[in-house]
Chains A and B, each alone.
Chain A
Amino acid sequence: MRTDLQMIRAHMGYVFGASLVAWRQYEEHRTMCFFANFVGNRTCKSAHGSSCIVARVLLIVLTIIFACNPSAAHETQPISIRGTRKQGFVIKSSDLVVLESRLGEKQLTETGVYVCLSASLPVYATPLVETYTERELIMHSISSRPTPLASDGGAAGHMSSSASGYPTEANFSSASAQARRPHNYPFISQSSSVQTMQPVNHPMENIDVFWRTEPLQAFLDFPENISVENGQVESSVGVMASDEHVKRTDWQEWADQLITPDDPLESSWSDVLVDGDVPDHKPMVMEPSIGSSARQTHVHHPMPSGETCLDTTPLPTAPQHKARMRWTPEHHEAFVEAVNKLGGSERATPKCVLKLMNVEGLTIYHVKSHLQKYRTARYKPESSEGRPEKKLAPLEEITSLDLKNRSIGITEALKLQMEVQKQLHEQLEIQRNLQLRIEEQGRYLQMMFEQQKKMDDERLKASSSNPDESPAPLPTKVVQPSLPADDLTASEQDNVKTGSGGTSATTALEEIPQHPDARGSSPQPTKRARVD
């Protein structure tokens, strides 16, 4: 086990070192290919086994990163994995270019692998480094023309079996996001939407939550069950991604770290990642609750600049969905603009729209589904799909001209409808505000309660040493909250036209002082007859 680890590290170190050199000449992809080939051959000739595969696969990714072929990034060709899977890796010089170009459109294949990469700038190095898992890299490599290397046949087979080991080791509920296919290629939802247009990118932010942790975790799990702190990884991953400038230094550090032996793999990874500069702006909020307590994340839109943050609502639910996106009109505007630039909703592809939109936290999933909705809404202007079924009353019923039962005209009917709807809206707004305030009040009361209790405790302590002192009078303290409460209820009365309701609320509040020992510190409402 240990030797395997060391071997891997050695391989990686080698690869990294070589890649650093290569990186500086990234514009000449021919060199890349040459290098890749060279390294590939080298690693191929080394010891067989999973370590070899890892290294080989790593190199593919690196080459992809460094290949610079922006025009190809716009090609959207599906990556078909099924057919080529059996044929193992592809490391051919020309293929690498093709490979890179192929990584345009993400394609949900039967194996459930979902890859979206568009490489063009070295900034991609960072996020793609995170793709160091055998599974993903296989997918990359398989996309281009299958040219099996001689030694690959066995290796591929071996790899698939070793890959299957990982899902079981990865004991995170993010694993549930992966569909377990019979041949054990787990579903990886990822989207590293990197833009070619903008130099300052934050690709990591676009990467789906589960994708981010999962590959890293899986890799770190190999070959030992190294449990890395989710939080550490998460925050460091975020940190890493957001600053472009540190990319170069990161690479250096990585290379250094990985070449030095004896450090546990875990710490070397963590150190490397953590050493990235802290970004000035707010990175994706990636709280360490991914994994065993994987939760739904949704993207909220706080900043006008179009940046989005992942709000992490700490719900321990199974992550069947990808991070949910909350579309705002601004987002939609940007979306429509992008679509129009690309020639309309029919011609635009999710990947390109994603790139054009350049919104942090937006994944290709979001764009895809949004595009679908958009298309439907446009081509069915009368009744978009999302609308619930409406039963139109039969015409006979309406056109019957009865003296008593007069059918009303369209406009009048519409006006009527609007009236009711407006009223419902108004009442809902009021109700919602009331609910908010009620909770606010409740919190305030609770606070007062707790404060009072604290004071009581203190006074008790004081009085134990000084028996003459008496505890502070209770009502004066607690009556205070009823004053703001009065204000609130008074204003609400105007809105709601509920005289009785308002006074009931106030009397209820005033009754609190008489029950200071209500359960705990929370002013639990006791069952009482309606005060009226």
Chain B
Amino acid sequence: MKFGKRLKQQIQETFPGWRDKFVSYKDLKKLVRLISAAPPMMNGSLEFGRAEAEFVYSLNNEIEKLNAFFMEQEEDFVIRHKEVKQRIERVAHIWGPNGSNPSEMIHKEEMERIKKDIVDFHGEMVLLMNYSNVNYTGLAKILKKYDKRTGGLLRSPFIQKVLQQPFFTTDLISKLVKECETTIDTVFPAAAEENEGGGGGGEGIQREGDTIKVSGEGIFRNAVAALLTMQELRRGSSTYSHFSLPPLNLSDSDLIQSVQLNSPIPIP
């Protein structure tokens, strides 16, 4: 149930629009339980076959759901990726020093906005990758459970199929993320401008001594949550095998160690 709980937590913390797009781990688990409860086929009972068929059908439906959502988001990102680049060009073109209507103030203002948007954009893409991974993990676990409970051999071929699915082939998104990072590097000047005590940081980010508190429900928070969840998930399990992932050891110097999540703002 550990994964189930973690998944639920993650779903709760994710964007509202995404909440119902995750794999229905709990329901699938119930199905597996039903199958194992049903008398085996040898006894000539139909229940087993039916339950099994339902399981496979549900799996396929889940995959379909994941694919659809993923590709939809991917399409959005492709569009926005281009738009961001164009926007930067446009701003430089109009308000930049060599532009048609040079205005340092507006230029700066626009660039600030772009900076914020681009970082958020980067975050969203990464979160989509996380979505992909979490769901894959869920499916892999369910299949493992199924094989264990029923002694079937569904896991291996099915997971091969899953590996090919669009929602798991995140190469494009990864590429976009990297390109985004390059763009960000060019947009953010090398010199760090400290802007003490003014203006709004994207979300409620406050420094308390050595810890950084993150509140709000935005992208940053989600990213942090995702990392932490990942770490948790990969801590040793009782069913550790060569199919399990090794534990996630983030080095002590990593930023994440000092980040503390406030409880999410409850949704009325």
Interfacial residues, chain A to chain B (CB-CB below 8 A): 296, 298, 300, 313, 315-317, 321, 324-329, 331-333, 336, 370, 373-374, 377-378, 381-382, 384, 386-395, 397-399, 401, 404-425, 427-429, 431-432, 434-436, 438-439, 441-443, 446, 485, 492, 496-498, 500-502, 504-505, 508-509, 519-520, 522-532
Contact = CB atoms under 8 A, between A and B. Distances in A.
Nearest to B175: A329
- Which range holds the interface residue count of chain B? 35 or more
Contacts of B63: 313, 315
A418 B184 contact: yes
A508 B244 CA distance: 10
- The residue among A327, A413, A442, A522 with the most chain B CB atoms within 10 A of its own CB is A413
Interface string B201-238: 11111111100100111111001101100100000111
A241 to B, nearest CB: 25
Given A393-B216, A443-B160, A531 B240 contact: yes
Interface of B: 15-18, 57, 60-61, 63-64, 67-68, 71-76, 78-83, 87, 112-113, 115-117, 119-120, 122-124, 126-127, 129-130, 133, 136-137, 140, 144, 147-148, 151, 153, 155-156, 159-161, 163-166, 168, 170, 172, 174, 176-177, 181, 184, 188, 192-209, 212, 215-220, 223-224, 226-227, 230, 236-251, 254-256, 259, 265
B122 A418 contact: yes
Contact of A391 (B218, B239, B249): B218
A414 B227 CA distance: 17
A527 B238 contact: yes
B16 A389 contact: yes
The 8 A-B residue pairs with the shortest CB-CB distance, nearest first, are: A501-B246, A409-B195, A525-B241, A393-B204, A388-B15, A413-B201, A386-B76, A508-B242
B201 A500 contact: no
- By secondary structure, the B interface counts as helix
Given A382-B113, A409-B196, A428-B130, A421 B122 contact: yes
B123 A328 contact: no
B113 to A, nearest CB: 7
A434 B246 CA distance: 9
A431 B168 CA distance: 12
A516 to B, nearest CB: 16
Contact of A415 (B18, B155, B192): B192
Given A389-B17, A407-B205, A525-B244, 18 more contacts: A296-B67, A313-B63, A315-B63, A327-B74, A377-B80, A395-B200, A398-B199, A405-B206, A410-B199, A411-B188, A412-B192, A414-B188, A422-B181, A425-B126, A425-B177, A427-B230, A496-B249, A498-B246
